[in-house]
Structure 1
Amino acid sequence: MATLQEVERYRNFDELAQDVLDLAKEILPEQLIYLTSFNDTQQIILKLSNDDSGILVREGMVINLDETLCNRIDFDKQQPLIYENVQKEIAAGEMKTALEGANINSYLGLPISHINGDRFGTLCVVHEEASRYDQKSIDLLQRIVRMFTYYLELERCAYRDSLTDLYNRHYLSRFFETPSKTGGTIFFLDLDGFKQVNDVHGHDTGDLVLKEVAARLQNYAKDHHDAFVVRLGGDEFIIHFACSADQKAISLQAEQVLAGLSSWGSEYHLSTSIGIVVYPAGHAADLNALLKNADAALYRAKTAGKNTYRFH
């Protein structure tokens, strides 16, 4: 699923999102229309067609996904969800109360997914009064959503590694174009013994190992706020943490990563070495300099016997 941080780095996203909303308004001019994106637990309101509506929805609003109508959309079948009269069609409960509080009495939600099936979010049409959504209007909106999906796929290809679906170096470079408000920590990882896996078992097996490493790192990053994982290339990976913790806490994180990548059974003899660099808040970080320093620390970890970490 696309994160808000990822969407913010899409080129021309604001312009295209506005075009999508303008086209949708041509179809249903009296309605409030907005784009959203999802993560695992939340829905983010990305952009509104207008902000002078009596409906209490605002750009940047974050809502628990379980508390939204959009969570009821069938993304597998890619079918819109329609409530032409919330008062009559939704039973009493927290959902109905929330919709009444937002002054929403009609709702049309269209699913937006990436080409690979991952959910992106929704295109939503709402009004303060009961509304009639005819099939022609729905069909036209679905065509707009399909065009937007093709744009998302282009952006996804630009920022994602094709083998592991992790972020790539291009995404990392874009991330460092904006000075950090929080500072950060970079783990530069290199697999110990990966060449032997390729030599003994073949490159297809090597690719499977890289995918498994990516999955383990992604699972680890999910438990750390605003952390993300990058594949630089080959068997080199980056974990970026959004704040610069004290050395003791960072050391604990490094030990957890090493433990998570050391269990491969008897078939593969793999471990990981990590070089660590920390940069402060407000620092206009030079990515090339940071990676050079992290690589130097990684080299020290390798020469110390591998399966360990070193700070720059």
Structure 2
Amino acid sequence: MKNTLKDLMLPAPVEGGFAMDGYWVWCSSVIRGEDGKYHMFASRWSMDYPMHPGWLVASEIVRAVSDTSVGPYKFQEVVLPARGPQYFDGRSTHNPHITRCGDTYILYYMGSTHPFPELKNPSELKHEDDITVVARANKRIGVATSKSIFGPWKRSDNPILFPRPEYFDNFFTSNPAPCIDMDGGCTMIYKTRTYLSSLDAPFLHGNMSFGVVKSKSPTEGFSQMLDIPLFNGEGFEMEDPFIWMDKDGYNLMAKDMKGNVCGEKMGGIYAFSDDGIQWILKRDSLFYSRSILWDDGIVREMGNLERPFLLMEDGKPVCAFFATSDGKNGEGFMECTRTWNMAIPLRAEE
């Protein structure tokens, strides 16, 4: 990619994107449906829960629609609701990524489950609660398919990717970033962590890291390609990958948790790959920033700018989407009072 994403950004519409009264909203992924309209798949969960970690136990994937790519998007339906603790995704669905292969829509997502009863006081949910600890360890990547953007969605009863006990990805698999290859297969980046525990401290884990999987099918047969984390440099910690292809190869952007790669805490990094497995990370270059120019003329530093997604048309990015909040300092989900999915139109790349 010749330009950074921030160089392509036009002012973000204040009235664009997607929000819902009474809900935390996160994780936007957009595609143009057979009706010609733009359909956003997003995560939501009740504000009865804290924003973080409420998503772990109460998120559901919904669909919203707009006549334009930037929105505003209007809620249409719940696509992947809770379906019981016996399923790997029975209590929470999150991290949607919608794409299409041939005549089939494919919805990748993270699902989780736990065996505990519904919370009597959801506002008091904490990171160290048993329900949260179990739900985090049970995060797995799933897939659902449909011939229509309106469903019905055929949902797999099993994850497409499991942790590997003897490797760096032995804790969970989440945050799917798939790319449908030219041959109809799939290359995917995913987020994971490593257990650092003992019997005396069974819930310690390492920093977030990325793995790579490949398959000949977009919905099954995924194989982990790396025995060590992608970008295995000291001090690196990233999450929220997004990958796409152009005529030169694979592109990746992700959130730099500490800012020691791109120079801004929770700003965006960029990497390139010929094969989707071995990646070249561009150091000391800010691909996107949390400081955003809005169409009211004001530049605001967003509390969060996460889960990046590019809407592609004719092979070119035309709109960027991010989950954002009204919090501060890159830790917005810990103190925010509102979250939404924002849309940023992009000018044509030179």
TM-score w.r.t. structure 1 length? 0.25
Q: Which has the higher helix share?
A: 1
TM-score w.r.t. structure 2 length? 0.23
Higher relative contact order (CA 8 A, sep 6+): 2
